[in-house]
Amino acid sequence: MENCLSTLVFLLSIALVLFPKTGVSFLAAEGASDSDSKVYIVYLGEREHDDPELFTASHHQMLESLLQSKDDAHNSLIYSYQYGFSGFAALLTSSQAKKISEHPEVIHVIPNRILKLKTTRTWDHLGLSPNPTSFSSSSSAKGLLHETNMGSEAIIGVVDTGIWPESKVFNDHGLGPIPQRWRGKCESGEQFNAKIHCNNKLIGAKYYLSGLLAETGGKFNRTIIQDFKSNRDAIGHGTHTATIAGGSFVPNVSFYGLARGTVRGGAPRARIASYKVCWNVVGYDGICTVADMWKAFDDAIHDQVDVLSVSIGAGIPENSEVDSVDFIAAFHAVAKGITVVAAGGNDGPGAQNITNAAPWLLTVAATTLDRSFPTKITLGNNQTLFAESLFTGPEISTSLAFLDSDHNVDVKGKTILEFDSTHPSSIAGRGVVAVILAKKPDDLLARYNSIPYIFTDYEIGTHILQYIRTTRSPTVRISAATTLNGQPAMTKVAEFSSRGPNSVSPAILKPDIAAPGVSILAAVSPLDPDAFNGFGLYSGTSMSTPVVSGIIALLKSLHPNWSPAAMRSALVTTAWRTSPSGEPIFAQGSNKKLADPFDYGGGLVNPDKAAQPGLVYDMGIKDYINYMCSAGYIDSSISRVLGKKTKCTIPKPSILDINLPSITIPNLEKEVTLTRTVTNVGPIKSVYKAVIESPLGITLTVNPTTLVFNSAAKRVLTFSVKAKTSHKVNSGYFFGSLTWTDGVHDVIIPVSVKTTISM
């Protein structure tokens, strides 16, 4: 098994973006010789015709020419990418990979990589409810859900660990026929019968394993891959994310009595297509290869999904998107009108660790819900304190002890207090009744079936410790947790959520948007040991990503002609900068720090407002060409990526002019002028006025200050923004905003500026 897994070590590690699973790190393999065959992806760019068989034949011919044998070419080929773009994955030696990279039709050759997998209250919290809320117009007779028939014509592609098809959230009660444009299929496999398990809700189910098998010895070895050789989900992650995006209504669901309510997805009548690319490999939390993932993207483009939900991510990026080409498959999907929603990662709260940062991706951060699970702790002196937990058992009444770093305390039959800074040891088998764990605030709760864990902050932990040290026989009573919705629970950017600025392209704001991703209740695989009646509470940007995917499915139903960039703009420019109840949004991990664009992009997603944004900052192929030119792509490479002759302008376009719904200036010396273009998607006759909130020490000037739209033929207008700094020394980032308002619509984009003085 070690030999099989050692081939994975050569590859850059990536993980299911689910928190708080243990992180995995692959180290570079040692002693690899040129004769060792590995999986390489040979990328050839845009398709030049529509015949997939001709593509496969040409890929065989290229390999045959390289290997000088038809049989060797056949055995080498793993995948032929033929629908969304042209390319193939093959087993090659490093010298063969180098040789084929010199072929004039080849744009890139890259080694396969391992990717890693990093709800009841969610939709009420965001105002997207079948019933009216205090901060939304949505109801059974009005609002985004009603106007789109809950997304019944939308198709959500979920690229993940597969699906548990028997879950009630995938029932198709009341759904009409499958949309006629659907070209995909369900594949049967181990414990998955396409005729039985697929229906008018779950309309697609495929699995991709060849890329992983090529890295693990070529055979499905169950001592290594403990999974179903089908789309069936052994991990639960894919089932959970699919539920959040498009699960059907299931009433009266809870997690051991907590968070009780009706579980459903953002687009509860949307159709789901599951693409299983991530697998349960022993010792890892779920791994996926780029070769398999590219084939899933290729098929999803062919199948005609509307949105791809990708809760998968790499480590902190080191190369540009165009050099690493990890995002090229997503680029082709976006170029064909498919919005790709991707997790921002769980490496927060430090700066510059955001992943999935390509400008064509919709990158999502995670926030908490306005929900908590308060747990009452009563000390022996009758002092009452409140912590949080998922403890739902009968009241605990025991002696209380502090377990410090020497761990030489008699803990049998007692509740123990621990601090996470003391590196708690295993307490299994020592007779502990319960654990009070004092740690830094992060809203991450866990349930351990054998021992209840109660979570509190250092202040309360220190208070309990003082009681223990000043009392001869300290005791404690712990009551079962309850569910508290709304105030005083507050919305925060989750501590684990990865932050900007974008380390690869600092002028591209990432994340784009934030959505709830902490303690989200959704269906899981019943094989998950923490599941309760087939449901579980998960946290991570893996969970916030399908929240946005479900909203995109609704927007696509309402505005079928909108581009992925228009969808993103609608979300960013209408987002909440405060919580839905009007309270400030703080960023966890920093004491009293208000969230800024590097924490949550445009803000917390506001579905109903996004349906009618007024103006959008649209982007098309030309904008992406300009980005590639500014990032250093040569003309011939861009031409092959796009499938048509393309030439960068001289001088090259400024990356500051990319038509994003944000302005980020990472190195302002004195002053700079940039442009943006807006498209009117509201009333034909509209007048918008600029409202500027300049960052500290920065003067923003907009020209013109008024945008007048007066005909259907004149829906697109361009304006310029001049930024001038008054700082005399290098500064950090300061933040502001630019709003276009017509009195009804407030179209807000975040502005981030850092002054850099030349030496």
| Element housing 623 (H / E) | helix 621-631
Amino acid at 228: F
d(CA 436, CA 461): 8
Amino acid at 12: L
d(CA 303, CA 600): 32
Q: Give the pLDDT confidence score for residue 328 in this predicted structure.
A: 84
Question: Under 8 Å CB-to-CB from 300, ≥6 apart: which residues?
Answer: 84, 157, 159, 184, 273, 275, 308, 333, 338
> Which stretches of the chain drop beneath a pLDDT of 70?
1-35, 48-49, 117-142, 314-326, 405-407, 421-429, 441-443, 446-449, 486-489, 590-592, 759
How far lies 631's CA from each of 101, 284, 330, 356, 502, in Å?
21, 35, 18, 16, 14
d(CA 215, CA 91): 9
Q: Give the pLDDT confidence score for residue 7 in this predicted structure.
A: 28
d(CA 114, CA 290): 6
Tokens representing residue 653 in the block: 């376009």
Nearest to 19 by CA among 382, 368, 464: 368
Q: Give the pLDDT confidence score for residue 21 in this predicted structure.
A: 35
CA 479 to chain centre: 35
Domains of the chain: 2-113 (3.30.70.80), 122-341+539-564 (3.40.50.200), 374-482 (3.50.30.30), 621-755 (2.60.40.2310)
Q: Give the pLDDT confidence score for residue 118 in this predicted structure.
A: 58
Residues 266, 128 contacting (CB under 8 angstroms): yes
**What average pLDDT is seen over the chain?**
86
Q: Give the pLDDT confidence score for residue 501 in this predicted structure.
A: 94
Tens-digit pLDDT profile for residues 529-556: 888 899 998 999 999 999 999 999 999 9
Q: Give the pLDDT confidence score for residue 179 in this predicted structure.
A: 96
CA 419 to chain centre: 31
d(CA 513, CA 548): 9
User: Which residues carry out catalysis?
Assistant: 160, 237, 542
Q: Give the pLDDT confidence score for residue 97 in this predicted structure.
A: 94
Q: Give the pLDDT confidence score for residue 129 in this predicted structure.
A: 60
> Any bridge partners for residue 385, and if so which?
377
Nearest to 501 by CA among 220, 256, 284, 734: 734
Q: Give the pLDDT confidence score for residue 137 in this predicted structure.
A: 43
Residues 204, 273 contacting (CB under 8 angstroms): yes
**Percentage helix, strand, coil for the chain under 3-state DSSP, each rounded to 5:** 25, 30, 45
* CA atoms in the 13 A half-sphere facing the CB of 565: 24
d(CA 89, CA 68): 18
Residues 642, 614 contacting (CB under 8 angstroms): no
d(CA 70, CA 92): 15
**DSSP per residue over 214-249, as a string?**
HHTTSS--TTTB-S-SSSB-SSSHHHHHHHHHHPPP
Q: Is the sign of the CA dihedral 643, 649, 653, 657 positive or negative?
A: negative
Tokens representing residue 276 in the block: 């299983």
How far lies 106's CA from each of 43, 103, 352, 633, 634, in Å?
6, 5, 32, 14, 14
Question: Under 8 Å CB-to-CB from 53, ≥6 apart: which residues?
Answer: none
Q: Give the pLDDT confidence score for residue 35 in this predicted structure.
A: 55
Tokens representing residue 294 in the block: 């590219």
Q: Give the pLDDT confidence score for residue 32 in this predicted structure.
A: 38
Name residue, tokens 């409140």. Answer: 386
> Any bridge partners for residue 725, and if so which?
698
Residues 164, 236 contacting (CB under 8 angstroms): yes
Nearest to 112 by CA among 324, 308, 356: 324
| N-to-C CA span, the chain | 55
The number of beta carbons lying within 10 Å of the beta carbon of residue 40 is 26
pTM score, whole prediction:
0.88
Nearest to 749 by CA among 736, 734, 758: 736
DSSP conformational letter for 192: B
> Any bridge partners for residue 435, and if so which?
416, 453
> Any bridge partners for residue 709, and if so which?
686
Q: Give the pLDDT confidence score for residue 451 in this predicted structure.
A: 84
How far lies 493's CA from each of 195, 501, 596, 608, 702, in Å?
43, 15, 10, 21, 31
